[in-house]
Amino acid sequence: MAMYLEAKWTVDHGMATWRAWLRYFRYYNKVARAQDGGPGNYDKDTFAQACPYYCTALMYDTLSKKIGERRFWKLVRQWPQSRLDTNVDRAGFIALAEKISHKNLDPFFKDWLNSRTWPPR
């Protein structure tokens, strides 16, 4: 989420275009997945690989289109607020996303986070 929000911030402040960020994310999504695996399935012993940052940023962009901007930004705001001072996991995030969107998103996240190829089905 940090990479996605950084990209949005640079666009909002006139430092880049969203189109340029999407080109960047798409390029690294293909390269990093082939090299590192999916962003949820990367080598945890290697710090700061591109895949968890860039592939996931593209996933969030796709998620916003899938569930709608209003619901997506509600999820972005509610997630940290609903988990103050706790440990979190993927299942909790998916559950909240499904509650907000009223959609079954488990297959979406499974494909985006675990697939070595892109685009996921």
pLDDT at 101 over 60: yes
Q: What percent of the chain has pLDDT over 70?
A: 93
pTM of the full structure: 0.88
pLDDT at 36 over 60: yes
Q: How confident is the model at residue 94 (pLDDT cuts 50, 70, 90)?
A: very high
**Domain layout of the chain by residue ranges:** 2-114
Query: What pLDDT, on a 0 to 100 scale, did the predictor assign at position 33?
Result: 82
Q: How confident is the model at residue 109 (pLDDT cuts 50, 70, 90)?
A: very high
Q: What is the mean pLDDT of the chain?
A: 89
Three-state secondary structure string covering the chain: CHHHHHHHHHHHCCCCCHHHHHHHHHHHHHHHHHHHCCCCCCCCCCCCCHHHHHHHHHHHHHHHHHHCHHHHHHHHHHHHHHCCCCCCCHHHHHHHHHHHHCCCCHHHHHHHHHCCCCCCC
- Which range scores top for mean pLDDT: 5-9, 36-40, 87-91? 5-9
- Average pLDDT (113-121) is 73
